[in-house]
Structure 1
Amino acid sequence: MNSQPIHCHWITTQNRQGGDSPAKGLFPYWSFTKTAISICALKLVEGAHLRLDARLPGQPFSLRQLLQHTSGLPDYGPLKVYHAAVARKEEPWSRQEFLDAAMAQGMLFEPDQGWSYSNIGYRYIRELIEETTGTPIGGVISDLLCRPLGLLSVEYWDTLEQSASLHWEAAEGYDPRWVFHGCLIGSVADAARLLHALFNGELLRSGTLREMLSRFVVGGPIPGRPWTECGYALGLMSGEVGGGGQAIGHSGGGPFSVNAVYHFPDRPDPVTVACFTNGEDEGVAEFAATKIAQQV
């Protein structure tokens, strides 16, 4: 049973918006951060600072394959030892410890020969962005996304003091360094505004956005979640949801909260919805977002 309310905000292409999210509440964006990282990488591609299909130095995979989870890299998410360490509030692993734990599983397949979600891959993207710009990822996201869009609540999460300031009491004591690729925090409304700006043409050129939306079809329905068909684009989950048509965005989750931030382009007035709640079931937030998209 979800013991706390689901906080949501929605925006349509006609700039109607609403919701019931706390104006000053700060929430972890979790894997919705991947969408922000992807947009930054693609803006660097637009500026000819990065190449989408060139292999990373010394690696068998490209930026596109990392963005789309088709690199073959494994992940630490399935590892029980990782979740146990987080639950015990241990000191977060070093970069090398993360890599050693994940890579002990070996590469899962040759690049472009399959699909498997990998937070390790997004750490590589983060580091590529930082090496290219000479700026930590939080500063890059601020410079390229937050400041131009006026997303005043959004910040990079890297201290326990920030954890204590979050909406969910359970966040106190959580060390954000356990999120290997990094994590943003911000308001529910600003999460919706960020994704809405992407589909409103405010962040990427039309050709780059088309590249971002090109997707790998992953599979069919997922039990306990609204997906009837699912795929993954570049930093974006992309598929069909029951009653809502196409949904493009990202879900996220950590040890105490979940979210779903999606654009629904098939609605009569296309709408972007962000929903955040406590618990660990991403389906709760996804169903809430789909319901709002149907009702707006």
Structure 2
Amino acid sequence: MTEAWAMVEDGVVAESHGAAGLVPWWSFTKTVLAAAALVLIRRGVVNLDEPVPGRPYTLRQLLQHRAGLADYGGFPAYHEAVARRDEPWPVTDLLARVDADRLRYAPGEGWDYSNIGYLVVRQMIEAVTGEGIDDALKRLVLHPSGIAGARVATKPHDLAEVSMGDASTYHPAWVYHGLLVGSVPDAALLLDRLMRGELLPAETRKVMQEPFLLPGLVQDRPWKQPGYGLGVMVGETTGNLRVAGHTGGGPGSTIAVYHRLDGRRPSRSAAFFSTRGDQARTEEKAFGLLKG
């Protein structure tokens, strides 16, 4: 088993362990996609609350998982194909298989986690920038935030030097919104800079962190009051911390990247990665670093 973690205090890596190499950021990629979309909104290129061209939902609803779209994460044939090491399906095939054009509820009237929603966000970013998602995220978010070592993996050879646990043959294109890989300290630094830095102005960060409160608890996870903002999980933990960030998991590993929102000094962000594959434990470890 491989584990690595890093803690950032007042913008500086204060603690790290086993964190020199690259790891998959899994759904922390959603936070970076949301940040890129918010940069484009700030520049007047896209609008948060107008319908996405040709679609019945808004960008805000996509970023908050409230667009009514299905998710391939609960589609058995998807997991079976990944387990067989099949080549990833073309996007059009994926969308047809999950009947993606049929909304599960009217936009804004429900909440369901949707990787397909973030595929639409990726497609929007690529369309308005004229760039592939790797170049777009580097230009809009990563490089302005001082993160030089993270990148989007698209082929199996892109994971050759990435800690993948027992999923060494995984094809990253199975993550249809894109799979960022980077170091654990860079994940913590990036979130810290998104939550406190100049890339997103204070009013935008406030909107990003405003949660839609989820009904009930996240089963067997260390959340007292879970919610979801724009590309970030936001809420109160069972350890009485208010946090924003994201947990991610895929074959072979999990990662949790969070920032403490209570305003106490020092400010603190943390990332914890494990090839144990237990999201609840990974979150508990990250929250423990935040609590100190």
Is TM > 0.5 for Structure 1 vs Structure 2? yes
- Cα distance between partner residues in 2 of 1:82 and 1:169: 20
For the pair 1:20 / 2:17, whether they are aligned, the reply is: yes
- Cα distance between partner residues in 2 of 1:168 and 1:158: 15
Percent of aligned pairs with the same amino acid:
39
Superposed displacement of residue 201, structure 1: 2.2
Which residue of 207, 216, 221 corresponds with 1:220?
216
Q: Is the 8 A contact 1:21 1:189 kept in 2?
A: no
What's the counterpart of residue 281 of structure 1?
278
Which residue of 75, 83, 86 corresponds with 1:87?
83
Q: Is the 8 A contact 1:244 1:293 kept in 2?
A: no
What's the counterpart of residue 235 of structure 1?
231
CA offset digits 1:102-155 (Å, max 9, x no partner): 226932100000100111111111111111010111101111222222212201
- Cα distance between partner residues in 2 of 1:171 and 1:146: 26
Q: 1:214 to 1:22 in 2, by over 3 A?
A: closer
Q: 1:264 to 1:59 in 2, by over 3 A?
A: same
What's the counterpart of residue 44 of structure 2?
48
Letter of the structure 2 residue corresponding to residue 137 of structure 1: I
CA offset digits 1:7-65 (Å, max 9, x no partner): 11011236461121332x11000100000000000000000000001101221101110
Alignment of 1:1-296 (within 5 A): 4-13=1-10, 15=12, 17-23=14-20, 25-103=21-99, 106-266=102-262, 268-269=264-265, 270-295=267-292
- Cα distance between partner residues in 2 of 1:135 and 1:105: 25
Q: Is the 8 A contact 2:234 2:245 kept in 1?
A: yes
- Cα distance between partner residues in 2 of 1:102 and 1:250: 25
- Bigger shift: 94-103 or 230-239? 94-103
Q: 1:5 to 1:279 in 2, by over 3 A?
A: closer
User: Unaligned 5+ residue runs, structure 1?
Assistant: none
Q: CA-atom RMSD, angstroms?
A: 1.6
DSSP-derived class of the 2:166 partner? helix
Letter of the structure 1 residue corresponding to residue 235 of structure 2: G
Structure 1 residue ranges (4+ consecutive) displaced by more than 3 angstroms after TM superposition: none
- Cα distance between partner residues in 1 of 2:169 and 2:244: 32
CA offset digits 1:53-100 (Å, max 9, x no partner): 110122110111000000000111001110000000001011011111
Letter of the structure 2 residue corresponding to residue 67 of structure 1: L
TM-score, structure 1 normalization:
0.94
CA offset digits 1:235-277 (Å, max 9, x no partner): 0001111224111100000011100000012273331010000
- Cα distance between partner residues in 2 of 1:136 and 1:247: 31
Aligned residues: 291
Superposed displacement of residue 169, structure 1: 4.6
TM-score, structure 2 normalization:
0.95
Q: Is the 8 A contact 2:5 2:19 kept in 1?
A: no
- Bigger shift: 220-229 or 90-99? 220-229
User: Unaligned 5+ residue runs, structure 2?
Assistant: none
- Cα distance between partner residues in 2 of 1:113 and 1:128: 23
- Bigger shift: 251-260 or 202-211? 202-211
- Cα distance between partner residues in 2 of 1:208 and 1:124: 21
